[in-house]
């Protein structure tokens, strides 16, 4: 039986836009995905989403700092990992440049490849944020522009390192409520995109 790790931020956790609580296992994409794959008796799926988690920008507590905490979850018995992470690195407090994005993503994915032998990595595109995100004090217009750079660099670096990149932004959109989190319809679409890859 293969073991799959879904590692990410609030959109993997299932953060409900405008409310802040968590979508249940039947609604969040990682929960729908988990149930569908485990029914085949071929996979075990671990949901490891954490609200506010960054990819490479240093955060406290450790659970919020993806680069530091990744090795705790990506152990030798993990066969496949699905990443959905990065958008929190565009927050005002980090003020990252394109060069820092490239270096940070490269270091994150390189660590993942080293943590687990022969691991197969799928990288989901970070969400395309909208002007609705400006309602949050954590983001500004530069954050929106940086998010687009993040998406482009994530794709390039993922492919260069031999990871499988999946562009979600052509099929799903962020909520009109906050411009950064997915609503239940988008969570379902993400799950429907991923499940046929493995089943």
Q: Cβ of 67: how many Cβ atoms within 10 Å?
A: 18
- pLDDT value of position 117: 77
- pLDDT value of position 116: 78
- pLDDT value of position 38: 98
Domain boundaries, the chain: 2-198
pLDDT by 10s per residue, the chain, length 199 = 999 999 999 999 999 999 999 999 999 999 999 999 999 999 999 999 999 999 999 999 999 999 999 999 999 899 999 999 999 999 999 999 999 999 999 999 999 999 877 899 999 999 999 999 999 999 999 999 999 999 999 999 999 999 999 999 999 999 999 999 999 999 999 999 999 999 9
Strands (E), the chain: 2-8, 43-49, 80-84, 120-124, 164-166
Q: Looking at domain 2-198, what is its CATH homologous superfamily? A: SGNH hydrolase (3.40.50.1110)
- pLDDT value of position 56: 97
- pLDDT value of position 115: 86
The count of C-alpha atoms lying within 13 angstroms of the C-alpha of 197, restricted to the half-sphere facing its C-beta, is 15
pTM metric for this prediction: 0.96
What is the C-alpha separation between 174 and 105, in angstroms, rounded?
Answer: 22
- pLDDT value of position 189: 98
How big is the chain by its Cα radius of gyration, in Å? 16
């Amino acid at each position: 039986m293969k073991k799959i790790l879904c590692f990410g931020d609030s959109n993997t956790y299932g953060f409900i836009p405008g409310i802040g609580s968590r979508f249940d296992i039947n609604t969040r994409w990682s929960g729908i995905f988990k149930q569908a794959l485990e029914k085949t008796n071929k996979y075990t799926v671990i949901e490891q989403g954490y609200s506010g988690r960054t990819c490479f920008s240093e955060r406290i507590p450790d659970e919020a700092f993806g680069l530091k905490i990744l090795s705790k979850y990506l152990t030798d018995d993990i066969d496949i990992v699905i990443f959905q992470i990065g958008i929190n690195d565009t927050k005002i407090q980090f003020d990252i440049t394109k060069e820092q994005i490239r270096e940070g993503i490269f270091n994150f994915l390189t660590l993942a490849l080293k943590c687990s032998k022969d691991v197969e990595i799928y990288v989901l595109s970070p969400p395309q944020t909208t002007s609705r995100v400006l309602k949050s004090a954590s983001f500004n217009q530069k954050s929106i522009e940086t998010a687009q750079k993040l998406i482009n660099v994530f794709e390039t670096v993922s492919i260069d390192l031999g990871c499988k990149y999946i562009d979600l932004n052509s099929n799903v959109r962020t909520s009109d409520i906050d411009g950064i989190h997915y609503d239940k319809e988008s969570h379902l679409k993400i799950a429907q995109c991923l499940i046929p890859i493995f089943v």
